Amino acid sequence: MMQPLPLSLDLDALRSYVLGMECGSFAQAAQRLCRSTSAVSAQLKKLEQQCGTALVMKQGRHLVPTTSGERLLGYAKRLLDLNDEALLAVKEVSLQGEIRLGVQEDFGESLLPSVLGPFCHLHPALRMTTRIDRNASLLQGIRQGDLDMALAWQQPEERADPSLIDLVSLQWIAHPNLDLASLLARGEPLPLVLFDAPCLMRLRAIRALDDAGIPWRIAFTSQSLGGIWAAVQAGLGITLRSAIGMPTSLTTLVDGLPPPGTMGVVLLAKHRESGEAERQLRRLLTQAVRQAHHPLTS
């Protein structure tokens, strides 16, 4: 007996659903889609019937996704991105214009070659200007309009940040020959290799050690990530970073040190409304960050 084919989700309904959640209102989504509110509501109802569950619920005056709706949202964005990319590829559309991109140092060497090389090769008419810099400079570049997009670490005061693309685990990192157990047993201050202040990782490292009652000292400071890795490879101390882009000669430490938690990665944009080139680049950078952080599940 032949098995029935699985249902195919309606891409137009998915687009209305995603836009409605991003706008916080299906009435606003209907305006942007140039459709009536009743038509968009009908699409939502059809989508819920296809999924066999409610996708939105009321929270005060606003509609928010249910647990199932939140789960669908991620898949919906990926399906729509692939749909749009497929249409551009079939039509052989070459993106044009200019994008000024800023990238935090942690992601520069590890992510950019796999993203920007193929992207620029596929769209030779698109002019890319890329700058690798520290977090504060990238945020300033977005505020002043010097950058169109920036891949950066999330500021601690940002809670519900629509620019958030992933939460990355932080790691204590050292040379394999560093004898952490002996240092802790002797009660010696832990030698730290950190960026000059201000630095989010520096604040996180110091706060975690202070909360755990572990003495520390600044053994080496640098203004560049290359200097941080060189000092750690030389055995001058330990640092706190993401393992993304970590040199293979180094190792992560777990025992004896407080869990450093996670830090958000954000993809900031100068304008809320972005063109097709920015949307495609956003999708590629988001995928690259998630792949680097979850290599076995992405």
Task: Evaluate if residue 174 carries a pLDDT over 50.
Answer: yes
Task: Evaluate if residue 32 carries a pLDDT over 60.
Answer: yes
DSSP 8-67: PP-HHHHHHHHHHHHHT-HHHHHHHTT--HHHHHHHHHHHHHHHTS--EEEETTEEEE-H
pLDDT at 160: 54
Task: Evaluate if residue 298 carries a pLDDT over 50.
Answer: no
Residue pLDDT, tens place only, 98-114: 889 999 988 887 777 77
Provide the token pair at 52.
């066999």
Task: Evaluate if residue 175 carries a pLDDT over 80.
Answer: yes
Q: What is the pTM of this model?
A: 0.65
**CA–CA dist 142, 139 (Å, integer):** 5
Residue 168 · residue 151 · CB < 8 Å: no
Average pLDDT, the chain: 83
The residue type found at 240 is L
Please give the biggest Cα pair distance in the chain: 72
Quickly count: other Cβ atoms within 10 Å of residue 107's Cβ. Answer: 23
Q: Which residue has the tokens 């559309």?
A: 93
**CA–CA dist 6, 181 (Å, integer):** 56
pLDDT at 208: 94
Residue pLDDT, tens place only, 113-138: 778 877 777 777 788 888 998 888 99
As a whole-number percent, the residues of the chain with pLDDT over 70 amount to 89
Angle between helices 67-91 and 11-23 (to 10 degrees): 120
21 band by pLDDT with thresholds 50, 70 and 90: confident
Task: Evaluate if residue 159 carries a pLDDT over 70.
Answer: no
249 band by pLDDT with thresholds 50, 70 and 90: very high
More confident residue, 87 or 74: 74
pLDDT at 94: 58
Q: Which residue has the tokens 């790691």?
A: 171
**102: three-class secondary structure by DSSP:** strand
Domains and CATH numbers, the chain: 11-91 (1.10.10.10), 98-150+269-293 (3.40.190.10), 168-263 (3.40.190.10)
Task: Evaluate if residue 297 carries a pLDDT over 50.
Answer: no
Strands 251-253 and 164-174: antiparallel
Residue closest to 245 by CA, chosen among 138, 102, 105, 149: 105
- Residues 6 or more apart whose CB falls under 8 angstroms from that of 77 comprise 18
Residue 40 · residue 83 · CB < 8 Å: no
Helices within 92-213 (DSSP H only): 105-122, 135-144, 180-186, 200-212
**CA–CA dist 105, 151 (Å, integer):** 9
As a whole-number percent, the residues of the chain with pLDDT over 90 amount to 26
Provide the token pair at 107.
């992601």
pLDDT at 64: 82
Average confidence (pLDDT) over 257-285 = 82
pLDDT at 289: 83
**CA–CA dist 174, 220 (Å, integer):** 13
